[in-house]
Structure 1
Amino acid sequence: MPKPRAEQLQQDILSYKEQGVTHVISLLKPAEVEAFQMTQEADVCKAHQLSFTHFPIKDMDVPDLSALKELNLELKQQLSKGAHVAIHCHGGRGRAGTVAISLMIEHGYGATEAMKIASKARGDKMPVCDLQIEFVQSYR
């Protein structure tokens, strides 16, 4: 999903909560957090009783495989306990798509099927660049 809007961060995070989200994951790099004025996101999530994880990934790039495996292990445990996770980058398709699709693969989906499901849910192609597509196709 796209990042919450800085000018209405409280409302966007509250909207996540109203949709059942219990954990927010931001994939923004620190420079993006500053540039997009998102420095309060973790605090706003906490104020609304939402867990928050900052897992920075460079735009149009892929995450470190071992770090992503650790994140996905944690998320699988949370999901098994009923958590609902929102994953965002800036536009909500490239980095967020890569992480979401890798998590779907961890849950038994094939890469092609997971990309189709994620793209349909988002209403646009996910992930967006060849590097990200190749990453999820080789993810195990």
Structure 2
Amino acid sequence: MRPEIYWIPCCPIGRLAIMPRPRAGDWLEEELASIRAAGVDVLVSHLTNDEMTELELQREPDICRAAGLRFVSFPIQDRNVPSSRERFVRFVNRVYASLQQDERVAIHCRAGIGRSSLTAASLLVKCAYSADEAYEAIAEARGITVPDTDEQRHWLKSATPHLRNSK
């Protein structure tokens, strides 16, 4: 089975995608190998430790490495926003640097709608998109309205100056 990867075609600095969490349990190795085969170099997860346990994804970091994927974790509570704007901006800058180095990045949360679109939109905001333009581009690629909550939409608008002025 092919993984659900939604590439965002308008990203001006590299290949960026969002996706739902990988299939877990007995399928995890095959799923992560398929994600790698689809061209992903870096897999970002916003799942919390509790979610990783609940969804049987505790082995995701190790299996990513074995599959040739760089795994990056930045936990955010489901249907929520980052707890620290400063830490999130630093995290976005690291992911942005990966894109600038021509690495292909896919971002996942539970369903690939809220937290993952917040991060993808933050990366587009660094490329001079407005928050609304960024979410619109992601929604078009994903085929559904993003993000999950109004709080996520408003949070990005308030974080926009910090994202644009950070290195």
The reply to whether TM is greater than 0.5 is: yes
Unaligned runs of 5+ in 2: 1-18, 161-167
- Given that 1:118 and 1:126 are in contact with CA atoms closer than 8 Å, whether structure 2 keeps it comes out as yes
Report how many residues are paired.
140
1: CA distance between counterparts of 2:133 and 2:66?
36
Aligned residue in 1 for 2:101: 81
Q: Does 1:4 align with 2:32?
A: no
TM-score, normalised via structure 1 length: 0.96
Out of 21, 24, 46, the position equivalent to 2:40 is 21
Structure 1 counterpart of 2:77: 58
CA contact (8 A) 1:17 1:50 kept: yes
The answer to whether the 8 Å contact 2:131/2:153 transfers is: no
Deviation at 1:34, TM superposition (A): 0.5
Equivalent-residue separation in structure 2 for 1:3 and 1:119 (angstroms): 17
User: After the TM superposition, which parts of structure 1 deviate over 2 Å for at least 4 consecutive aligned residues?
Assistant: none
Identity %: 34
Give the structure 1 partner of residue 54 of structure 2: 35
Match of 2:132 among 112, 118, 127: 112
Structure number having the greater helix percentage: 1
Q: Determine the C-alpha separation between the residues in 1 that align with 2:127 and 2:71.
A: 22
- State the 1:139 CA deviation: 2.3
SS of the aligned residue for 1:37 comes to coil
Q: 1:72, 1:106 within 8 Å by CA — same for their partners in 2? A: no
Deviations 1:73-117 (A, max 9, x none): 111111111111111000110111111111111122111110100
Query: TM-score, normalised on structure 2?
Result: 0.81
CA RMSD of aligned residues (A): 1.0
